[in-house]
Chains A and B, each alone.
Chain A
Amino acid sequence: MAWRRAVQRFLRDRAATLGTALILLLIVAAVFAPILSPFPSDVADFHTAHRLRPPDSINWLGTDRMGSDLLSRILFGARITIAIAFIAVGTALVVGVPIGLVAGYYGGWASNLLMRVSDIFLAVPQIVLAIAIAQTLGPSIENVILALSITYWPFWTRLVYAETRSLKNEVFVESAIALGASPWRVMVLHILPNIASAIIVRTSIGMGVTILTAAALGFLGLGAPPPAPEWGRMIAESREFLPEAWWYATAPGIAIFMVVMGFNLLGDGLRDILDPRIRRGIGAK
């Protein structure tokens, strides 16, 4: 029944519900883009005679510099956004969590070495490091994902390391060790489930940051090459036509804003539910 209470609490949180709705909207847009798009072929097709048309009954969000329907391109762009966010964050999780877990559990010089390496990554502003990597590798979606993955894993490592260190001396962990559980069993079955909430919350917020950074890379021309309907690139292309073609930058800008806000609100809502310290804080009021 605990999960039911958690769901009820989550649903009572309007912000978290709104965040979830926005993310669901993104997923629906990505999955059903070919059906929802008024002009699916406009992802790669141009109609130069119709370029830079303001929003009207045919092109609800207007057209871009090549005459393509902006709404269609934004819907298909959701696929790129989801792909980048899920793969980059997923990779960072797969790399960062085990490193943090092992380093936090074992300690010693190897642990210190791993954490100092993660500190090196954390010392450089993430966007700067991502730009450097993406620029070196060349502009492509794959390289953006790689650049983001490389720069993100230390965040999870640092989080998991700290949580593991604090749980390592808890009675239930010591009991498991005393009963003869192997280190891997202790880490995977006893420690990891207890830090899962922190990881989930960090992941949700991390998704928003990832999307924003990916859009920034796209804006700088380091993301998906043309004609991919990448949102950051679309904003970059629109700069030249501002302020006259205001819809050109506004449409992808709002899309990025909504998705990032969605993940942030969801993250806040999850933290309220999953983090006992916050929950106690709320209950004390």
Chain B
Amino acid sequence: MKRTVFALSVILAMAPSMVWAQGKYVHANNSGYDNLDPHAIFDVGRAASRINFYDGLYRWVDNPPKLIPWLAESHKSSADGKSWTFNLRKGVKFHDGSEMTAADVIYSIERMLATKKGASSLFMPIIDPGTTKAPDKYTVVFALKESSAIFLATVPEILVVNAKLVKQNEKDGDWGAAWLAKNVASTGSYKLKRYDPAIGFVGERFKEHFAGWGPKAFDEIEFRTVLETNTRVQGLMKGDFHGTDGYLPYDQILRLKQAKNVQIFEQESMRVFYFSIHNDRPPLNDVHFRRALAYAFDYNGFINDILKGAVARNPGPNPNNLWGAPKDLQGFTYDLDKAKAELAQVKQPLRPITIGTLAGFSETEQAATLLQNAASKIGVEVKIESAPWQVVQSRMQDRDKNYDMVPLWKSTYYVDPNNWVGELYGSRYYGTRNYSYNKDDELDKWINDALAINDEEKRRDLYEKAARKVTEQAMGIFVYNTKWYGPYAANVGGIRFCPIGSGQDMRWAYFK
């Protein structure tokens, strides 16, 4: 009898944790979460912490992406497009129970402009420090230096931090950078429960979130760093994880499609795979040399054989399925005779070219070896160096330390052609989003003009001209636009994929 009572009490004691465990979603991520500061990071690999812990004034959801009011209820802009007024939602609580107000929004944008990291590159050219004002507790006015057609599209990237809490943790004028790298101060959907840069993070549902919750929302979410592709895939098939990244090598997608307990969500996306080329370094500053390399990439072999036709050829910098991508754009084809002819016109001495690939992203290495192989046939030596994304990115941000070429993806951070051709080749983004370090006054003018006007037809024309020139000058080698194949456990529902964030916004998801 005693034994029965004891066993019963053990079961009862475990009951709450068992229920809790059922509400925990575990995601295997292909990148490490080395920093939680929402103003320091800005990439797809670490998007989960930004999206799930923080809120912006507006929020991107669904596909095609829609911009919905979030911390702000509405906005209006002046006729000249320079003044933007946002009316904040009242009664929004931070995780510590205090109310979010205009002062927090102002602190957040000032912090971004001061720390000059993450998404700040979107705002530094158009907002001066100290110019954002709060006429009252629930109104914020952004005074732009110049009209910006993309400002509203980028507003979701102004993630709002709890100003009072962060200020309490500032050290030596660091804007709380050291503290916020390991802590969360926000209104976001989840509260930080556990964080280890080597492992990942666990978030606990913030029940008082202003947007409310569905009846079956996850109680906890865990984003765990699992760098090994095979481990992520095996873990998903075994049930150790409920989801993983949606841009796995297609071989793995085919494998997961065979697994009964896994479902694959397929969505059109906007994520262009291309070779970033350092345009400001000999002999890559010679258009003929760049064209020779562009002719030396086996596009069909890569897309149809290695990726099994799961992606679509994208000949230019803008995704085919977005306005601003010329429909008749003729990209380069694999043609070694043309490559040799272009190379013959190069007057500068040739030298070995270094391609930096992303460790853990085998597609980048396969693309690089494919180019290396063809380049050797036209007499260009290519060396390949592999390093983790954080290392590659920090080198790319330095004009001198940058690799000659890097194969990588340009993901969607906001839905506008400026996200691609503008950021990648506009000199205003040197070192922050532009790693090509190209200098072309005409291109700059088109990109800057397109940013300054709101007429979409005129903007389309400018971006199409820019895309044509970038392609024709082979400022990069553009390969494909990808689809998103989101692998999730069969019992996961409610995934709302949006190209911005790549389906990692977990507040809508649940177990069926």
Interface residues of A (CB under 8 A from B): 44-46, 48-49, 51-52, 65-67, 138-139, 221, 225-227, 237, 239-242, 244
Q: Give chain A nearest CB distance to B374 CB in angstroms.
A: 9
Please determine whether B385 and A239 come into contact, CB atoms closer than 8 angstroms.
Answer: no
Instruction: Decide if B235 is an interface residue (CB 8 Å cutoff).
Output: no
| Cβ contact within 8 Å between B249 and A51 | no
Within 8 A of A (CB), among B369-385: 369-370, 372-373, 376, 383-385
- CB-CB nearest 4 A-B residue pairs: A48-B305, A48-B301, A226-B369, A225-B384
Is B386's CB within 8 Å of the partner chain A?
yes
Measured between beta carbons, the chain B residues less than 8 angstroms from A51 are 305-306
B residues adjacent to A (C-beta < 8 A) = 228-230, 249, 251-252, 255, 298, 301-302, 305-306, 359, 362, 365-366, 368-370, 372-373, 376, 383-386
Is B306's CB under 8 angstroms from A48's CB?
Answer: yes
Q: Tell which of A49, A52, A67, A226 touches B384, judged by Cβ atoms closer than 8 Å.
A: A226
Bound Cα distance A145, B60 (Å) = 52
**B386 and A139 form a contact (CB under 8 A):** yes
Contact B230 A66 (CB under 8 A): no
A138–B298 CA distance with the chains assembled, in angstroms: 28
* A138 cross-chain contacts in B, Cβ below 8 A: 385
Which residues of B sit under 8 angstroms from A49, Cβ to Cβ? Answer: 301, 305
Nearest CB to that of B254 among chain A residues?
A: A244
Given A227-B369, A240-B230, 10 new contacts (CB under 8 A): A46-B373, A65-B306, A66-B370, A67-B305, A226-B372, A237-B362, A239-B228, A239-B229, A240-B252, A241-B251
B75 nearest CB across to chain A (Å): 46
Tell me if A's interface is mostly helix, strand, loop or mixed: loop
Q: What CA separation (Å) do A242 and B251 show in the bound complex? A: 11
Interface residue SS majority, chain B? helix
* Closest residue on chain A to residue B229 by CB atoms: A240
The answer to whether B372 and A227 have CB atoms under 8 Å apart is: yes
Q: Which residues of B contact A226 (CB under 8 A)?
A: 365, 368-369, 372, 384
The docked-state distance in angstroms from the alpha carbon of A245 to that of B134 is 61
Bound-complex Cα distance A240 to B255 (A): 11
> In the complex, which residues of chain B have a beta carbon less than 8 angstroms from the beta carbon of A227?
369, 372-373
Whether the Cβ atoms of A221 and B306 lie closer than 8 Å is no
Chain A nearest Cβ from B368, distance in angstroms: 7
Cα–Cα, bound, A47→B372 (Å) = 14
| A241 contacts across to B, CB distance below 8 A | 251
A221 partner residues in chain B, CB cutoff 8 A: 359, 386
13 pairs across A/B with beta carbons < 8 Å? A46-B369, A46-B373, A48-B302, A49-B301, A49-B305, A51-B305, A52-B251, A66-B369, A66-B370, A139-B386, A226-B372, A240-B249, A240-B362
A48 close to B370 (CB less than 8 A)? yes
Q: Out of A65, A225, A242, name the residue touching B366 (CB < 8 Å).
A: A65
Which of these, B251, B369, B370, B372, contacts A240 with CB under 8 Å? Answer: B251
Query: Which residues of chain A are within 8 angstroms of B370 by Cβ–Cβ distance?
Result: 46, 48, 66
Tell me which of A44, A51, A225 has the highest count of chain B C-beta atoms within 10 A of its own C-beta. Answer: A225
B385 touches A139 (CB 8 A): yes
Q: Across the two chains, which residue of chain A brings its CB closest to B370?
A: A46
Q: How far is the CB of B330 from chain A (nearest CB, A)?
A: 23
- Rounded to whole angstroms, the CA-CA distance of A67 and B384 in the bound complex is 19
The CA of A51 and the CA of B251, in the complex, are separated in Å by 11
Contacts of B298 in A (CB 8 A): 48
Q: How far is the CB of A245 from chain B (nearest CB, A)?
A: 9
- A44 near B373 with CB under 8 A, answer yes
For B252, the chain A residues whose CB sits under 8 A away are: 240
**Cα A67 to Cα B369 with chains together (Å):** 12
**In the complex, what's the smallest C-beta–C-beta distance from B78 to chain A, in angstroms?**
53
Taking CB atoms, residues of chain B closer than 8 Å to A139 are 385-386
Contacts of B365 in A (CB 8 A): 226
Which residues of B sit under 8 angstroms from A65, Cβ to Cβ?
A: 306, 362, 366
Contact assessment for B383 and A225 in the assembled complex, using a CB-CB cutoff below 8 Å: yes
Asked whether A242 lies within 8 Å of B230 as measured between CB atoms, the reply is yes
Q: Which residues of B contact A44 (CB under 8 A)?
A: 373, 376
Question: Once bound together, how far apart are the Cα atoms of A73 and B377, in whole Å?
Answer: 19
